[in-house]
């Protein structure tokens, strides 16, 4: 056994690792916000009275949930810019832009946020939809009878109890989303795993680095759990039977 | 505009509610058949009949929770269902109390009462809360204003539901079996609230099997079976001298329990 533990390089790389943690937190939080928006918006369209919206959301959910996250990242990062080039030329030809630039080239971080949001959003749609369906029809009727419009009934009466009902499922999905940020190292987004890979490539202190990074991910997950609990206490703590 | 029409027409002699040849179909099933009913301002109607007779469907058509299939319904002179606007106008003037209370669990009692007045009538929070407190006081539940529905008993919840509907200052109140989901000892407090509302001159249509309430409050009792109005009359006549066999059989069954 020639391998001797030496946490020196990890210690030297600590500022980078901590910045990586911030990068991970940023991707996770931005991804969650986007996923929540897509989730709630998707549910509204998924159950709208306009069939094409329902089909669109249904197909979107099936597409995202049945393809790997890494492939979705690659598609947005590598494939979309090729489409963007064609679009840029087309827009220039029609006089919509001054030069034939690429309209779909995204930074690794933007790609990661969109991929996480879209992926998490597809799962969130199905989860939140379950919550909306769990709200009794009587609640909706009471809102309508009071003269509120359908959109007001959804926003003011249905949404909160629906989110409360599925909050544990949604937060476990979002914990998964937080950990999935590590996949974004494949497109060199700035986050903890890519920082770790970088230090490992230079120092080969593989055990020490990934041991440390494991603890850091645990800490990040714990932080998220605290955040989820705080949100629950703040918004979903009304008594129910 | 439609709101103004309703307000004006109540001062005239036109009926508060007029149902003309109303039919309601669920696919091939006829839930209401040729309903003709006129309710004057201030009149109290009790609707009774066996389950599935269409009494709930009938009152749910009046505020368009159910769309009727044929005929006409006019509320305060406004024909319901001509446009989405007429539905909004009618719903703002017609309060409804449900069997299952349907209070909003995530809002306090006070917020339950102020939500719609603030959103649909444009009342300020201060105005809406003043009205809500006055009406919660009236149903004798003001001290619970900051609690959540789950912390109240069924009878208390139903009284809040009545106050919540009254906060919209409706011209008509619809009650859909308001005491059927209550424990027996709580029925009276809800009925007392309804009686006091009736004494104040509210126009009311009440679906109920509480025949004591019907005797005391109703101007007319209407008996329905299989989607049709079978018989109607003032309570004294209705209970002592029912004309149709169906009515006699029904009264025999529900009064035996009392």
Contact of A164 with chain B, judged by CB distance below 8 Å, is answered with yes
Report the chain B residue with the minimal C-alpha distance to residue A237. Answer: B106
**Chain A residues 104-143 with CB within 8 Å of chain B:** 136, 138-139, 141-143
The sign of the dihedral angle between the CA atoms of A221, A222, A228, A231 is: negative
What is the pLDDT averaged over residues B122-136? Answer: 97
Q: Are strands B44-48 and B220-225 parallel, antiparallel or unpaired?
A: parallel
pLDDT digits (tens, 9 = 90+) for A56-114: 999 999 999 999 999 999 999 999 988 888 888 888 888 777 777 777 888 999 999 99
Domain containing residue A146: 24-190
Residues linked to residue B24 through DSSP beta bridges, in sequence order = B32
A21, HSE (Cβ side, Cα atoms, 13 Å): 18
The sign of the dihedral angle between the CA atoms of A35, A38, A40, A46 is: negative
Structural domain count of chain A: 1
Residue B13: pLDDT band (50, 70, 90) is low
To the nearest whole Å, the CA of B115 is away from the closest chain A CA by 9
Residue B106: pLDDT band (50, 70, 90) is very high
- CATH code of A53's domain: 1.10.3720.10
Q: Are B122 and B107 contacting, i.e. CB atoms less than 8 angstroms apart?
A: no
Contact of A160 with chain B, judged by CB distance below 8 Å, is answered with yes
pLDDT of residue A91: 85
In a domain, A91, yes or no: yes
In a domain, A28, yes or no: yes
In a domain, A151, yes or no: yes
Confidence check: pLDDT of B8 > 50: no
- In this complex, which of B65, B98, B120 lies closest to A147 when CB atoms are compared? B120
In a domain, A147, yes or no: yes
Report the chain A residue with the minimal C-alpha distance to residue B165. Answer: A146
Residue B9: pLDDT band (50, 70, 90) is very low
pLDDT digits (tens, 9 = 90+) for B130-145: 999 999 999 999 999 9
Q: Verify whether the Cβ–Cβ distance A138 to B100 is below 8 Å.
A: yes
pLDDT digits (tens, 9 = 90+) for A203-233: 999 999 999 999 999 999 999 999 999 999 9
**Chain B residues 150-169 with CB within 8 Å of chain A:** 150-151, 161, 164-165, 168
In a domain, A95, yes or no: yes
Q: Verify whether the Cβ–Cβ distance B105 to A238 is below 8 Å.
A: yes
Q: Are A161 and A115 contacting, i.e. CB atoms less than 8 angstroms apart?
A: no
- What distance in Å separates the CA atoms of residue A111 and residue B225, rounded to the nearest whole number? 64
B15, HSE (Cβ side, Cα atoms, 13 Å): 15
In a domain, A18, yes or no: no
pLDDT of residue A92: 84
In a domain, A217, yes or no: no
Contact of A33 with chain B, judged by CB distance below 8 Å, is answered with no
Contact of B63 with chain A, judged by CB distance below 8 Å, is answered with yes
Confidence check: pLDDT of B16 > 90: yes
For A125, the 3-state DSSP assignment is: helix
In a domain, A238, yes or no: no
What is the pLDDT averaged over residues B50-71? Answer: 94
Q: Verify whether the Cβ–Cβ distance A240 to B105 is below 8 Å.
A: yes
Q: Which residue did the predictor score with more confidence, A104 or B160?
A: B160
């Amino acid at each position: 056994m020639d391998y001797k533990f030496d946490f020196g390089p990890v210690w030297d790389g600590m500022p980078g690792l901590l910045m990586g943690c911030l990068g991970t937190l940023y991707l996770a939080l931005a991804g969650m916000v986007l996923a929540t928006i897509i989730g709630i918006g998707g549910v509204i369209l998924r159950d709208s009275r306009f069939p094409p919206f329902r089909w669109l959301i249904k197909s979107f959910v099936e597409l995202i949930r049945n393809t790997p996250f890494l492939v979705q990242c690659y598609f947005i990062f590598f494939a979309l810019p090729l489409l963007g080039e064609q679009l840029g030329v087309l827009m220039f030809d029609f006089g919509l832009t001054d030069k034939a630039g690429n309209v779909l080239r995204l930074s690794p971080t933007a790609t990661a946020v969109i991929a996480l949001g879209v992926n998490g959003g597809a799962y969130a749609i199905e989860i939140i939809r379950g919550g909306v369906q769990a709200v009794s029809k009587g609640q909706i009727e009471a809102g309508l009878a009071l003269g509120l419009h359908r959109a007001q009934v959804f926003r003011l009466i249905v949404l909160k109890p629906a989110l409360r009902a599925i909050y544990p499922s949604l937060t476990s999905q979002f914990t998964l989303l937080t950990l999935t940020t590590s996949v974004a190292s494949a497109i060199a987004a700035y986050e903890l795993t890519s920082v770790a890979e970088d230090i490992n490539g230079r120092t080969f202190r593989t055990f020490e680095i990934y041991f440390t990074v494991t603890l850091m991910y645990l800490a990040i997950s714990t932080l998220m759990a605290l955040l989820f609990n705080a949100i629950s206490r703040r918004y979903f703590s009304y008594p129910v039977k | 505009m439609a709101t103004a029409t309703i307000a004006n027409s109540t001062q005239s002699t036109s009926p508060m509610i007029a149902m003309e040849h109303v039919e309601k179909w669920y696919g091939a099933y006829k839930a209401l058949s040729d309903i003709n009913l006129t309710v004057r301002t201030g009149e109290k109607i009790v609707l009774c009949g066996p389950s599935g007779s269409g009494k709930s469907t009938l009152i749910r058509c009046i505020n368009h929770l159910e769309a009727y299939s044929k005929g006409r319904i006019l509320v305060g002179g406004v024909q319901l269902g001509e446009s989405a606007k007429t539905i909004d106008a009618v719903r703002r003037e017609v309060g409804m109390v449900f069997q299952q209370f349907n209070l909003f669990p995530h809002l306090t009692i006070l917020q339950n009462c102020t939500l719609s007045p603030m959103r649909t009538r444009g009342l300020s929070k201060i105005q809406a809360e003043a009205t809500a407190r006055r009406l919660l006081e009236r149903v004798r539940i003001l001290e619970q204003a900051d609690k959540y529905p789950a912390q109240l008993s069924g009878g208390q919840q139903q009284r809040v539901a009545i106050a919540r509907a009254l906060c919209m200052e409706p011209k008509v109140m619809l009650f859909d079996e308001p005491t059927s989901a209550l424990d027996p000892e709580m029925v009276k407090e809800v009925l007392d609230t309804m009686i006091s509302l009736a004494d104040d001159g509210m126009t009311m249509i009440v679906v109920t099997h509480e025949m004591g309430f019907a005797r005391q409050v109703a101007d007319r009792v209407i008996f329905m079976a299989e989607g049709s109005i079978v018989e109607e009359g003032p309570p004294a006549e209705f209970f002592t001298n029912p004309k149709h066999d169906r009515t006699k059989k029904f009264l025999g069954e529900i009064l035996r329990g009392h």
